[in-house]
Amino acid sequence: MPNLPKPRLRRPSRSRVDTTAAAPTAPEPNVEVIERPGLRWVNIERPGPVDRAWLEEHFEFHPLAYEDVSSRNQRPKVDEYADYLFIILHFPVFDSTVGRLNAGELDIFVGQDFVITLPNVPLQPVEYLFERCRASEEFRDQLFSRGPGYLLYKIVDDSFDYCFPMLRKMGNKLDRIEEEIFEGRSEEIVRDLSNAKQEIINFRKIIRPERSVLRDLERTKQVYLPAEHELYFDDIVDATERIWDMLENYKEVVEALEETNESVISHRLNDIIRVLTSVSVVLLPLTLIASIWGMNVRVPGEGSIEAFWIVIAAMAVLLVGMLAYFRKRGWL
């Protein structure tokens, strides 16, 4: 495998016929390199055509691997080649522009003396680990001295550990929604429930295929990881299982909260309907009496002020009696 040159390469600009105009400079590949004798970590964030050309110039990877790097619709997988591994992993990333979780893709090439990471979106765990290696020579020597397999483990492990704070935020959101349900804001939190449910669904869609991929990675890691470090990848598998268990729990919680919220709304609606029905039933006989004595025909007591007060008193007694009866039956 040819040695890698230093980052920030500049390609010579071609001469132009018009010597009065400045020759345009070719775009630089967005290549960052940290090296130590025996191992080099190359990080290329959001690789574009120029970055792919740089890779093709310095590495003889399979054309299908380069095609997967350029594609935006790849499933997580592990491809094993003769002298390197090509790994595609997805991690949840919160997109603040749309306010939802999306999948951030991380493509990784692992060889005997190199690790190449190609995130298609900024991944904070990868950025933090890379900057820490660049800033601290002691930490870099400690990490790189264990070989490319351990560096791969550290990158993947930090990326999955970053999922747990996101899960805790989701759990806190579910707790807040549960409190608001019983505070009389059931109608207002329907959208919050929908957003929380969508986040859990998106998170599950990202993590579900990772589980089988990590098992494949655990199987193919022996070439790049000493025997005493094999348990580290078991720790990654355990972390993904914990993440999946938490997502399963959150899925059940949000479904239960949705049912509870619907029950609270339905119960409140039933109370309103019960009150309105009781009022209608109470007013119905009063309306009947008023209609009978208000007809344009002769009725008993017509033209008598005493009869008017008798009718009013009868309606009042009937009203009080019906209210007392409904109250006794628990309808009001």
pLDDT at 15 over 70: no
- Rg of the chain (C-alpha set): 36
Domain 1-160 falls under CATH 3.40.50.300:
no
Q: Where residue 20 falls among pLDDT bands split at 50, 70, 90?
A: very low
Min mean pLDDT across 10-19, 69-78, 237-246 is at: 10-19
pLDDT at 18 over 50: no
Q: Which pTM value belongs to this model?
A: 0.74
SS3 99: coil
CA distance 291 to 23: 98
Q: Which residues contact 17 (CB under 8 A, 6 or more apart)?
A: none
Here the contacts of 95-99 (C-beta below 8 Å, separation 24 or greater) are 99/195
Query: Which residue in 155, 25, 151 sits closest to 89, CA to CA?
Result: 155
Domain limits of the chain? 1-160, 272-329
If one compares 35 and 4, the residue with the highest pLDDT of the two is 35
Tokens for 110, please give them: 């692992």
How much of the chain, in percent, has pLDDT values that exceed 70?
Answer: 84
Residues 56 and 66 sit within 8 Å (Cβ to Cβ): yes
How much of the chain, in percent, has pLDDT values that exceed 90?
Answer: 18
Q: 162: which DSSP letter?
A: T
